[in-house]
A and B are shown apart, each in its own frame.
Chain A
Amino acid sequence: MMLNQHLPKIDSTNFKNINKLLMNFIREEVGRTGVNKIVLGLSGGIDSAVSCYLAAAALGSENVSAVMMPYKTSSSKSLEDAMQVVKDLNINYYIAYITDQIDSYFAQPVYNKSYYNNSSLDFEKKYNENDYELKLRMGNKMARERMSILYDYSYILNSLVLGTSNKSELLLGYGTIYGDMASAINPIGDIYKTQIYQLAKYLGIPDSLIKKAPSADLWQDQSDEEELGFTYKLADEIMFLLIDKMYKPEVVISMGYAPDVIEKIYNKIKKSQFKRRLPLIAKVSQRTINVDFRYLRDWV
Chain B
Amino acid sequence: MDLIKLSLAQIAPVPGLLTHNAEKHLEYIDRAKQAGSELVIFPELSLTGYFLKDAVYDSAINLNDIIVNNIAADKVKDRNIGNGGYRNTINNKNEIKNKNHEIKDNNCELDLKKSNDRILDGLLDKSGEIAIIAGFVESDEDFNFYNSTCCLSGGNILHIHRKVYLPTYGMFEEMRYFKQGKAFGVFDILGTKASILTCEDAWHLSSSYIAVNKGAKLIIINSASPARGIEEENDKFSSVKMWEELLSVIAFYYKSYVIYVNRVGFEDGIGFSGGSCVFSPNGTKDYCLDYLDEGLLNIELNLDFLKNERFKTPILRDENLDITLKELNGIINR
User: What is A's interface to B at a CB cutoff of 8 Å?
Assistant: 8-11, 13-14, 16-18, 20-21, 24-25, 28-29, 32, 185, 293-300
Contact = CB atoms under 8 A, between A and B. Distances in A.
A32, A293, A294, A298 interface centre (most CB from chain B within 10 Å): A298
A110 B291 CA distance: 59
A14 B233 contact: yes
A9 B12 CA distance: 29
A80 to B, nearest CB: 33
Contacts of B291: 17, 20
A296 B234 contact: no
B233 A28 contact: no
Contacts of A299: 15-16, 55
The 8 closest A-B pairs by CB, nearest first: A294-B53, A28-B266, A294-B54, A296-B268, A13-B233, A300-B16, A8-B232, A14-B230
A13 B266 contact: no
Contacts of A9: 232
A28 B265 contact: yes
Size category, B interface: 20 to 34
Contacts of B16: 299-300
Contacts, number: 70
B55 A29 contact: no
7 contacts: A13-B233, A13-B235, A17-B236, A21-B292, A28-B265, A296-B53, A297-B268
A16 B51 contact: no
A29 B237 contact: no
B322 interface: no
Given A294-B54, A296-B51, A296-B53, A14 B266 contact: no
Contacts of B232: 8-9, 11, 13-14
A20 B290 CA distance: 11
Contact of A300 (B14, B54, B234, B236): B14
B231 interface: yes
Contacts of A294: 53-54
A237 to B, nearest CB: 14
Contacts of A29: 266, 269
B59 to A, nearest CB: 11
Given A8-B231, A13-B235, A296 B15 contact: yes
Given A20-B292, A296-B52, 15 more contacts: A8-B230, A9-B232, A13-B234, A13-B235, A14-B230, A17-B236, A25-B266, A28-B12, A28-B266, A29-B266, A296-B55, A298-B15, A299-B15, A300-B14, A300-B17
A25 B52 CA distance: 19
Interface string B220-233: 00000001001111
Contact of A18 (B12, B52, B54, B230): B230
Contacts of B234: 13-14
A16, A18, A185, A296 interface centre (most CB from chain B within 10 Å): A296
A295 B53 contact: yes
B271 interface: yes
Contacts of A17: 227, 230, 235-237, 291-292
A185 B269 contact: yes
A123 to B, nearest CB: 41
A216 B233 CA distance: 32
A16 B234 CA distance: 10
B227 A21 contact: yes
A295 B55 contact: yes
A29 B12 CA distance: 13
Contacts of B233: 11, 13-14
Nearest to A31: B266
Interface string B111-152: 000000000000000000000000000000000000000000
B15 A300 contact: yes
Nearest to B290: A20
Contacts of B267: 296, 298
Nearest to B236: A17
Contacts of B269: 25, 29, 185
Given A17-B235, A20-B292, A25-B271, A293 B54 contact: yes
A43 B240 CA distance: 36
